[in-house]
Each structure stands twice: as structure tokens, then as C-alpha cells.
Amino acid sequence: MIIFPLPAFQDNYIWIIRHNDTSLIWAIDPGDANVVLNYCQQDDKQLAGIIITHHHKDHTGGVAELKETFQCPVFGPAHLTDLVTHPLAEDDHVNIFERSFRVLETPGHTLDHLCYFSDQPTPILFSGDTLFRGGCGRIMEGTAEQMLAAMQKISALPDDTLVYCTHEYTLANYRFAVSLEPQNQSLLDATLTCQTLRQQKQATLPSKLDLEKKTNPFLRSHIESVKVQAAQQLSEEVADQPSAAFSQVRRAKDSFS
């Protein structure tokens, strides 16, 4: 099984899962049908299924056309009744080729957000807009408490989990992260690595969860130095409660330039 991105729009990635021995593929969050159709036509592939992480149009805009063209199943949030043929909830499973992916409900960015985790043979997480490399999604529908709970749920996964998010936001995320932790050597090293990748027009993804724990401020909002810097950027007192501290980091990122 091979996983690779098809770039879409300005900074989206449509993740493709390809079976080594067949012409079948799956698509994760196909916001643009033409991107997937062009790939299938050029490489003689057949779309076997679609997974949706959340309802935003840049993740779902191509689903209806692809579903009609290939007559394939669509797995995703239950309320998307016009698109989803197989509604999902916490701990449901989706079988993709030889892998079984477990559904994780991760509200925060949106209330319907789902992530998909498989632990064999190598742990993989499709994190949508919940966890980015070096960042997390804006809290657009949920609460800081919900987003922190999502971060904690992901943090409990194996450290060697490969994290496939759906946006190329890494360098912008790292600029903010460095403003909070300018002496974090793991973060500085990761920034240089990703700058080189982007100069070569390569994706900075997937990331690895143990690296995120060392570099991502939204998995580090409990660390005193991160809390202090975020509060200073907002001209606020340092938060005591975990969700309030997380909220300060998120709001500091929202206003960072």
C-alpha cells in the first residue's frame, strides 16, 4: 500500500491510498474532483472509496462528482447525508485494502471532525484539519476544551505514528512555534528540514507523532515556557487551567503575523 498527496487549491492535499497490485485507489478529503479524475485517467486507476474528515468544502467539494462517476462508497460524518453512504462514529472501522482504520471523533475545528487511525503494520493517522505539522486547526465550531481533548486523544497514540494532515501549513506553523520556543533545537532543526523540502517543492508530510510532541505548541500547551510566551503575546496573565492555557496558545496563533 502506497500513500501520496495530490495537491489541490492553494495548500490542500488530497491523500491517495494506492494498492500495490491493483488499479484501485482510495481518496481522503477530495475537495476538487478534477484533481482525482485527472490522476485516475493518467494512471488508469479506479476510485474504490472516499473518506471524509469534516464538512468544509475544500475537503468535500469533489465528493458528489466522484461518487457518481465511480459509484463508490463514501465514509464520513453521519450528518452529511447527501454525500456519505457509510456514516461513522467513534471506534467504527473502515477497511482499506489490508488495513483497518479506527475512527476517532475529534471535534474542535468543526463539531463533526473525524480522524482515522491504523496501527498495523506501521501506525498511520489521517488527521484532517485537527492536527497539522507544527499546528492545529482553528477552533471554528467547537471549544478550546474540545480541541484540547482531541490533542490529548491523538497524543495517546504510538509515538511512531505517521501523521497525514490535509494542508501545507508547516512553515507558517513553525514560525509561530519558534516565537514561543526560540531555543527548542528539535523545532529549529525541523524548520530547516522543511524549508529545504519546500524549496524542492516537496511536501513536508507526513510528520511523526513523537516529533509533534517535541515541536508542536498545541501538544505542548502544558509546558510553562510555552504558556508564558503565549500569554505575553496576548498581554494576558498566564492561564492556570489546561483548557485556558490551550486557548491562549490558539488565540496567540490566530493573531500572529
Task: Judge whether residue 130 has pLDDT over 90.
Answer: yes
Task: Judge whether residue 149 has pLDDT over 90.
Answer: yes
Residues 6+ apart with CB under 8 A from 220: 181, 213, 226
Per-residue confidence (pLDDT) for residue 120, from 0 to 100 = 84
β-pair type (114-118, 99-105): antiparallel
Cis bond leading into 87, ω under 30°? Answer: no
Q: How far apart are CA 251 and CA 245, in angstroms?
A: 10
Q: How far apart are CA 110 and CA 45, in angstroms?
A: 32
Per-residue confidence (pLDDT) for residue 200, from 0 to 100 = 98
Express each pLDDT in 177-234 by its tens digit: 999 999 999 999 999 999 999 999 999 999 999 999 999 999 999 999 999 999 999 9
Q: Is the dihedral of CA 197, 198, 203, 206 positive or negative?
A: positive
β-pair type (207-208, 114-118): unpaired
Cα 6 to Cα 18, 71, 131, 142, 253: the distances in Å are: 12, 21, 19, 29, 27
The stretch 103-109 carries a mean pLDDT of 99
Beta bridge partners of 114: 105
Task: Judge whether residue 257 has pLDDT over 90.
Answer: no
* Phi, psi torsion values for 211, nearest 5 degrees: -70, -40
Express each pLDDT in 76-101 by its tens digit: 999 999 999 999 999 999 999 999 99
Grid cell in block for residue 198: 519546500
